[in-house]
């Protein structure tokens, strides 16, 4: 079985270094010091323009402070997903937890 290493990148510079180092796929974030937040569309577009063969999974996380989201947070996340996919993301990474720390299966399975 062939394995692929996915590199976590917090900026265009990180993505460039990953691509030059032979990465096939990255997870693109911003604000890694906060655990990784949604990258800007501008960063995504630049990465895809300069490295069109590099697969980019975009993190969708609108804020730090955990992974429990209000309905308003989740609506923002849905909009971010649409925007990132429309601008070249190859996939989305996200996750929602319940206040007790367990996986919020219902929220994670929502689609629009």
Answer yes or no: is 1 within a domain: no
Alpha carbon distance 72, 83 (integer Å): 17
DSSP for 31-89, please give it: -GGGT-BPPPHHHHHHHHHH-TTSEEEEE----SS-S---HHHHHHHHHHHHHHHHTT-
pTM equals: 0.92
pLDDT of residue 2: 83
Domain hosting residue 65, numbered range:
6-108
Q: With respect to residue 29, please indicate whether it lies within any of the assigned structural domains.
A: yes
The answer as to whether 38 is a domain residue is yes
Residue 60 included in any domain: yes
Q: How far apart, in whole angstroms, are the C-alpha atoms of residue 32 and residue 13?
A: 13
Average pLDDT over residues 7-23: 97
pLDDT value for 3: 85
Number of domains in the chain: 1
DSSP letter at 40 equals: P
Residue 63 lies in a domain: yes
Q: Which residues contact 85 (CB under 8 A, 6 or more apart)?
A: 92
Per-residue pLDDT reduced to its tens digit, 28-38: 999 999 999 99
Q: Is residue 12 part of a domain?
A: yes
CATH number at residue 88: 3.20.20.380
The pLDDT of residue 74 is 92
Q: Is the pLDDT of residue 112 over 90?
A: no
State residue 52's pLDDT score.
97
Q: Is residue 19 part of a domain?
A: yes
pLDDT at 111 over 70: no
Residue 93's pLDDT is 96
């Amino acid at each position: 079985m062939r394995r692929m290493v996915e590199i976590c990148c917090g900026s265009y510079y990180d993505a460039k270094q990953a691509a030059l180092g032979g990465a096939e796929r990255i997870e693109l974030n911003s604000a890694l010091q906060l655990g990784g937040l949604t990258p800007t569309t501008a960063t995504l577009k630049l990465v895809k323009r300069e490295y069109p063969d590099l697969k980019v999974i975009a993190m969708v996380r609108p804020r730090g402070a955990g992974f429990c989201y209000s309905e308003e947070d989740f609506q923002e996340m849905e909009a971010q997903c649409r925007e990132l996919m429309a601008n070249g993301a190859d996939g989305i990474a996200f996750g929602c937890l319940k206040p007790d720390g367990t996986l919020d299966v219902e929220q994670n399975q929502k689609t629009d």
